[in-house]
Amino acid sequence: MPSTLAELQQWVDAVAAQTGASRIHWCDGSQEEYDALVGEMQEDGILLPLNHETHPGCWLHRSDPDDVARVEHLTFVCSRDPEDAGSNNHWMAPAEAHAKMDALFDGCMRGRTMYVIPYCMGPIDSPLSRCGVEITDSPYVVANMRLMTRMGADAQRRIEREGSFVKGLHSLGELDPARRFIMHFPEELTIKSYGSGYGGNALLGKKCHALRIASWQARQEGWLAEHMLIVGIENPEGQVHYIAAAFPSACGKTNLAMLIPPKAYRDKGWKVWTVGDDICWMRPGADGRLYAINPEAGYFGVAPGTGDTSNPNALATLQRDTIFTNVAVTDDNQPWWEGLDDRVPAKDWKGRDFEPGNGPAAHPNSRFTVSAKQCPSYSPHAEDPQGVPISAIVFGGRRASLVPLVFEARDWTHGVLVGASMGSETTAAATGKVGVMRRDPMAMKPFCGYNFADYFAHWLSFDQPGAKLPKIFHVNWFRKGDDGKFLWPGFGDNLRVLEWMIGRVEGKAGARDTPIGALPTAADLDLDGLSLSPEAREKLFGFERAGWAAEFESIGTYLGELGSRAPDALKREHGAIAARLAAEPATASA
């Protein structure tokens, strides 16, 4: 329904006039609205029905083949001062960016319905939540936003009550890669996206709002908007520790968030609770601890690799009321992707008869969109307005060599350096070459809405008198042996590492000091039931001085590239560790 907030109504009217929309629909978020929308998309061929006997309420969407991932090279932060965007972002002057986008949006919705989507990122009654409105001509976006956010009438009422919201304008346009841009105007709390229907480019509540714009808001308001999962680990005594963990896309965040403990752990009474799988907003509480909410209401997860071995909880979540994008289908019209099972699909992600010579049946970045509440491990505290207290923060990426299984930062400043210097091999979640090692600080390289140097300084600012900050750790599930195979089993066995972290938080677990932090020995982890080779034990728990010396030389170069805004505290921490590495005996230890 039209808004009682003048600013919102005037903006909607102006966009309708600019785009020439044939019809305006204010989304209320109801089931009736969703059902009608899905019916219309089925008629138009935007959604294809899947086997509703095996997967009730599930649908398949096939993207344009040139529109299947985030487009970082076409994503801009349009702050007034280019230095505020930093070298970690592509920058364009706001006036130039608005002119470019306005030219694209002029008349672009003629013959189309303009959908107005009020949404809330976070529990509807949480003081940590923030609201936005996305205007789009894509019914696929509307359906996904209903699953991914608290969308509709309740959100609109909060917006009208508070009087502030993030403005997001989106159009599919012609889906022409040459006319595709995603622009962020942080000082204006505005997003403009044109020419893409892919989730990360088109679901503006997700990466655009919840990370790029929210990270800017968070710096102004004294909180953190992070590319992190939130998971609760319950020990046999019934105590729950909440952990926030940052990994680049397609590096196992969803798997860790929905982890199922090994049988021996389950038998002892260990449980895992899923709060969120991708984004985490944290704010200091009155007691000095950081409290976190998941701003999202659903999962927009990578399908390939999700199976009964890797993530049974995710698989159970997807059995109903899910939108699949760019997966393959079996001959009885069930969704399929690599890593699901050993069936041979009938149709690939483009709708062609499956031929191995055409490449993977499902696109490597094919996705599922589903309500978080369907997850068997969904936390009963996921909707707590005050959030959940964070005991530990974990950073990690894909590193085939050098980086051990886990280590602990000595203090908050060291932990910020660990996150700031995090490296990972690229994946299919973004356009470009896969498998290239790049620095991805806090897994925020594609998502931080402002200068990384200022971002690191903001992180450091939380170390205040009276603060009870989480311990910071780094993990690497992806260390490989000389034969190129992974040395650590991963998946459920990652709980063994989380147990050690919790032991460190509680002051119970052992570790040995090294220049890069506190490393467990193999004896400090519960490895009962695992068969690790001598090579695995050496490389997973070892410290390679020469390799780390070279790594810190590279980190020093990276910090230098941040320019004059780079925090002196990080430079000093880097220098102190580099000096320790230089003084360390040259032999590797394990």
- Say if residue 138 carries a ligand binding annotation: no
Residue 285 phi, psi dihedral angles, 5° rounding: -95, 175
249 annotated as ligand-binding? yes
> Is residue 168 a known part of a binding site?
no
341 is in an annotated binding site: no
Reported for 33-41, long-range contacts at CB under 8 A and 24+ positions apart, including other chains, are 33/152, 34/143, 34/146, 37/139, 37/142, 37/143, 38/143, 40/139, 41/139, 41/140, 41/143
Long-range contacts of 344-353 (CB under 8 A, 24+ apart): 349/62, 350/62, 350/65, 351/62
Please state, in angstroms and rounded to a whole number, the distance separating the CA atoms of residues 104 and 181. 10
Residue 427 among known ligand-binding residues: no
- Residue 227 assigned as binding residue: yes
Q: Is 70 annotated as a binding residue?
A: yes
Is 491 marked within a binding site?
yes
Whole-angstrom distance, CA of residue 169 vs CA of residue 114: 10
Say how far apart CA 230 and CA 140 lie, in whole Å: 27
Burial of residue 16 (CB within 10 Å: 0-12, 13-18, 19+) is: middle
User: According to the annotation, is 3 in a ligand binding site?
Assistant: no
Q: Which two tokens stand for residue 292?
A: 């976190």
Smallest CA-to-CA distance from 448 within 178, 251, 248 is with 248
Count of CB atoms situated within 10 Å of the CB of 218: 22
Find out whether 494 is annotated in a ligand binding site: yes
- The active-site residue out of 251, 280, 375, 448 is 251
- Determine if residue 366 is labeled as part of a ligand binding site: yes
- The answer to whether 201 touches 115, Cβ cutoff 8 Å, is no
Annotated binding residue at 493? Answer: yes
Q: Rounded to an integer, what distance in angstroms lies between the CA atom of residue 264 and that of residue 242?
A: 21
Does 152 carry a binding-site annotation?
A: no
Q: 333 among the known binding-site residues?
A: no
Question: Would you call 58 a catalytic residue per the annotation?
Answer: no
Q: Which residue has the tokens 């005991």?
A: 391
Q: SS3 sequence, 467-495?
A: CCCCEEEEECCCCECCCCCECCCCHHHHH
Cα–Cα distances (Å) from 366 to 60, 65, 326, 361, in that order, read 11, 11, 5, 10
The answer to whether 398 is annotated as binding is: yes
**Is 507 within any annotated ligand binding site?**
no
Is 23 annotated in some ligand binding site?
no
Q: Is 207 annotated as a binding residue?
A: yes
State the catalytic residues: 251
Q: Which residues are annotated as a binding site?
A: 70, 198-200, 207, 227, 249-255, 278, 365-367, 398, 491-494
Q: Which residues are annotated as a binding site for substrate?
A: 70, 198-200, 249, 365-367
Q: Which residues are annotated as a binding site for Mn(2+)?
A: 207, 227, 278
